[in-house]
Every structure is written in C-alpha cells, then in structure tokens.
Amino acid sequence: MRLAFRKPSVLLSDVTFCGTEGAHRGDIKIRANKIVSMSRNLDGSKGTLRAEAADAVALPGLVNSHDHLDFSLFPNLGHGPYANYIEWGDDIWQRDKSEIEAVLRVPMRDRLLWGGYRNLFAGVTTVVHHNPYFAAFDRDYPVRVVKDYDWAHSLDLEKERSHIRAGRRPFIIHLAEGTDALARDELDRLHALGALTSKTIIVHGIAIQKESLDNVPKGAGLVWCPSSNQFLFGQTADIKTLATRFRIALGSDSPLTSKGNFLDEIRSARATGIATDRELIAMITQTPASLFGLQGLGNLEEGGIADVLLLDRQGTDPWESLWPATQRNIQLVLKAGKPMYGDERFEPLFEALGRPYDRVNCEGRVKLVGGKFAKLVERIERVLPEARRKISP
Ligand SMILES: [Zn+2]
C-alpha cells in the first residue's frame, strides 16, 4: 500500500493585494499549485501553514518577456552608440573576445541556472528565453521558462532561413534593433516574407516607422527593452506609437546590454515617461500572459496558478511598492505554490514545501533560496573568480 502525504495548504494572512476593484486587505489561500481563495478571515486551521504578511503587498509573479538565459554571467559589453545590432556584435567580438571567452568557460548548465536565479531575485517567476529551449529548464529550474514558442535570431543573423516564419505558436524575432536604414526596413522585410502575423512577437522595434505599421495585424506583440536599447543606441522605441498596433510587453534582455535585473528594467521603463504606470503593469503581467498563452498567470485570482510575489509594503496602492523595490524588499516568491526565495521568517514554508534551500545574505537581510544555490555559486567562482560581485542575490 502506498501512503499519500498531502502537502499542507498555505495561508498568507492579512496581506494587501490588488483585486478587481482596487486594493484589498485579506488572506490568500494556496493549495498545491493554485490560489484557492482570496478573501477576509479565511479558515487557516487543520493542515494549513499560516504566514503573517501584514507588512507586505501581494502581486502576481512577474513575467520577463525577453532574456537570453545562457548569457547571464556576461557584464555589459559594448562601446556604442551603434547604428544596428550587427555593428555591435562585430565590435564586441573584436574588442572583448577574452572577456567573452572567460564567461563561456563556465559550463552551460551553470550559466543557465544563474540566469534563472537572476530573474527569481527580481520577483520574476516566468521568463521568455530567446535561443533554443534547454532541457535544464524542465528540472529544478528557479523560474518557469515559456516552452511553446518558435524563434529566429533576426532577419540577418538567423542561420536557418526556414526559421523565419510564423506558424501556430508565438514566433519571436529581434527586429528593427538599431537606428539606420537596415533596421528601419526590417518590418517591411518581415512582412514581405509572410512572417508578420498575429502570432509574431518582435523584440526591440526601435527603428520602426509609422508608415510600416499598417501591415501589423491585430494581436501581434512587441517586447520593449529600454535599458538595452539605451545602452546600444542611445535611444529606445517609440512605444506610444507602436502601442497603437502592437500589444506591448517588457523584457530585460541579457546583462550583456541591460542595466541590471528586471526590477531595474521596470525602473528604466518608468523613467522614460513613455508609458503610464497602468500600462507598465500590464506589460509585466497580463499582456505577456496573453501573448505567450500562459493560462492562470499574470494575475492574482482564485483558481489561478499560485505565482505570488510578496514585497515590503511602501505606499497605499500595492503597485507603488514595486517601483522602488530591490531584491532586498522581496519578502517571498512562490512559483506555482512553491517557496523559491524569501525572508527567514517564512522558513516553515520552505521546510514544508521548498526543500532543499540555502541561506544567503542579501544587503544585510538573510534570505532563503530554493534549490542548491550555494553549490552553484561555488562552481561558478571556481571557473570565474571575478564573478563574485555579480553572484550574490
Ligand atoms: Zn535579445
């Protein structure tokens, strides 16, 4: 006979969260990987782990719509501004070859893992990875990686021409990444190839011209990566105009070109003043959930997947706590109900649902990290000693 041990439910009690009619204060009850109820004074008796969260706000786990998880250990490389992405690639291979080769000595599995942790420490629970999907994402990986996608690098650097086509799955391609004629023509070229459909999701779009927008079908998406654009080209995409035709999501891009982690990217986006706070929130939650077909994600709701981010409460509206937040302010991250990163006071949750985990110091606050994080850091440092400053949460 097999004995089935039922895992305890979790009750996050007295937390502030965003409901359909604004901010609420109440409890969130989670069973297995789902949110089962969100209400006041929920029953937290038998078989329930109660976690007090009166000083926290609850947001949905964030969605980062563009990263290259295998590039996670690179520093910023580039000496821009450049005219387009090809110029940048050629330049860094010429000037920074030894730096690139040093990072590539870290085994792929560890670079990928670090990419997952980088996102987790920024409150991200779902990442859209640009490059081939790796088997490592399926087992004990810190964040969820979108699996159902087709991709091509870009119109000029994609080696397989046959990859430049939009089928039934979301089709992701870097496009119009630059400021010159080459970048400007790319949307028209994509259209001429028949690869601009309602399933197409382009990344960057800096050089897109208003006249080319007529060809954009309803439903197509665009991922905005403001800090990467700024670093390489000294400017970013005209999101206000692009939003008239594209559904917009936000992506960090890789640390080769981005300013920091996903929380920093959100601040970079907000600092442009191009999007309202409400638009920005949609770009990191509901819009990517819809673009990439992520059912039950991007929103806190009964019946939804329990990707929950608890942050130190700062201000009255729950989202106000996000804008200044650093990884230190993240009290807890649950991915599908499993604690992955959080403050020491949530240790009973980690003990019951999140083993193995490690204890690390984050800007003077002790944090618990799910998985074998300390061993990962040791392995990386053995190959890349100078990584020290980058690999603490
Ligand atoms: Zn990219």
User: Distance, CA 19 to ligand 1 centroid (Å)?
Assistant: 33
Q: Residues of the chain with pLDDT > 90: what percent?
A: 89
- Per-residue pLDDT tens for 249-294? 999 999 999 999 999 999 999 999 999 999 999 999 999 999 999 9
Which is more confidently placed, 161 or 173? Answer: 173
User: Mean pLDDT throughout 79-103?
Assistant: 96
Is pLDDT of 4 > 80?
A: no
Is residue 272 helix, strand or coil? helix
9-61+298-389 and 63-291: same fold?
no
Which is more confidently placed, 19 or 201? Answer: 201
User: Distance, CA 254 to ligand 1 centroid (Å)?
Assistant: 7
Instruction: State the sign of the Cα–Cα–Cα–Cα dihedral 159, 162, 164, 170.
Output: negative
| Helices of type H across the chain | 85-95, 97-104, 108-120, 181-184, 186-192, 226-233, 239-242, 262-272, 277-283, 286-291, 347-353, 373-383
d(CA 199, CA 326): 34
Flag the least confident range among 20-34, 89-103, 310-324, 350-364: 20-34
Residue 329 bridge partners (DSSP) = none
User: Mean pLDDT throughout 227-242?
Assistant: 98
User: Distance, CA 253 to ligand 1 centroid (Å)?
Assistant: 5
User: Mean pLDDT throughout 18-40?
Assistant: 88
Residues 150, 170: contact at Cβ < 8 Å? yes
Tokens of 150: 């087709």
Distance of CA 128 to the CA centre of its chain: 7
Flag the least confident range among 61-75, 86-100, 212-226, 375-389: 375-389
User: Distance, CA 43 to ligand 1 centroid (Å)?
Assistant: 46
Could you tell me the pTM of the whole model?
0.97
- Which residues are CB-neighbours of 272 under 8 A, at least 6 positions away? 226, 236, 239
pLDDT band of 331, cuts 50, 70, 90: very high
User: Distance, CA 333 to ligand 1 centroid (Å)?
Assistant: 26
Write down the architecture of domain 9-61+298-389 according to CATH.
Roll (2.30)
Q: Which pLDDT does position 391 carry in this prediction?
A: 56
Q: Which pLDDT does position 42 carry in this prediction?
A: 86
Task: Name the residue ranges covered by the structural domains of the chain.
Answer: 9-61+298-389, 63-291
User: Mean pLDDT throughout 317-333?
Assistant: 94
d(CA 382, CA 376): 10
Surrounding ion ligand 1 within 5 Å at CB are 253
Which value, in Å, is the radius of gyration of the alpha carbons in the chain?
21
Question: Mean pLDDT across the chain, nearest whole number?
Answer: 94
Q: Which pLDDT does position 389 carry in this prediction?
A: 58
- Per-residue pLDDT tens for 131-149? 999 999 999 999 999 999 9
User: Distance, CA 273 to ligand 1 centroid (Å)?
Assistant: 23
Give CA separation, 78 vs 101, 111, 118, 255, 357, in Å.
15, 20, 21, 11, 36
User: Distance, CA 377 to ligand 1 centroid (Å)?
Assistant: 25
Q: Which pLDDT does position 3 carry in this prediction?
A: 58
CATH number of this structure's domain 63-291: 3.20.20.140
d(CA 25, CA 39): 8
User: Distance, CA 15 to ligand 1 centroid (Å)?
Assistant: 36
